C-alpha cells in the first residue's frame, strides 16, 4: 500500500509506514463531539473510568476520518485488515493499546 500526504485525510508516507499527524500537519483536528465518542472511551485505562469503544464507535471514527481497514492496520502494525474488520463488526474487542495509539495518531488524545 502506497500512502502519501493528503490535505483531506492527513495521510503521509514516512519510510513506508503510514502516519496520521492530522492535528500537527493540518493545524486543526476534528472535534471529539463530531466523532461522537463518549468521554469514557477517551479516558486512560488506569483512571477507573475507561470503557472500551463499541464496534459502532470504531466504525464511526474510521468513517469520519475516511480511514480504510488496511490503512488502520498499517498504522497500528496489526497483521492485516481482517483484524480491523473484527473490531468494526464486534467479533472481537480492540485492545486498549491499539485504541489509544489510534486516538493519539488522530490527535484526539495527547501522550501523558
Helix (H, G, I), strand (E, B) or coil at 51: coil
C-alpha 97/C-alpha 33 separation (Å) is 22
The pLDDT value given to residue 3: 37
| CA–CA distance, 71 with 82 (Å, rounded to integer) | 12
Split into its structural domains, the chain has a count of 1
Domain for residue 11, yes or no? no
Is residue 67 included in any domain, yes or no? yes
Domain span at 95 = 30-105
Model pLDDT for residues 35-57, shown as the tens digit of each residue: 778 888 888 899 899 999 999 99
Does residue 100 lie within any of the structural domains? Answer: yes
85 lies in a domain? Answer: yes
Q: Is residue 70 part of a domain?
A: yes
pLDDT at 91 over 90: yes
* Sequential DSSP letters for 1-41: ------TTT-EEEETTEEEE-HHHHSS----HHHHT--HHH
Is residue 99 in a domain?
yes
Kindly state whether residue 3 falls inside one of the protein's structural domains.
no
Q: Considering the entire predicted model, what is its pTM?
A: 0.71
Domain assignment of residue 90, yes or no: yes
Is residue 66 predicted with pLDDT exceeding 60? yes
Amino acid at each position: 500500500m502506497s500512502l502519501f500526504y493528503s490535505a483531506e485525510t492527513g495521510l503521509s508516507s514516512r519510510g513506508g509506514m503510514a502516519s496520521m499527524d492530522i492535528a500537527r500537519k493540518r493545524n486543526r483536528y476534528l472535534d471529539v463531539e463530531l466523532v461522537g465518542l463518549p468521554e469514557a472511551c477517551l479516558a486512560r485505562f488506569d483512571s477507573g473510568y475507561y470503557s472500551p469503544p463499541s464496534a459502532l464507535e470504531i466504525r464511526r471514527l474510521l468513517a469520519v476520518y475516511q480511514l480504510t481497514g488496511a490503512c488502520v492496520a498499517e498504522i497500528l502494525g496489526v497483521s492485516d485488515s481482517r483484524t480491523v474488520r473484527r473490531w468494526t463488526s464486534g467479533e472481537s474487542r480492540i485492545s486498549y493499546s491499539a485504541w489509544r495509539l489510534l486516538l493519539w495518531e488522530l490527535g484526539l488524545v495527547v501522550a501523558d
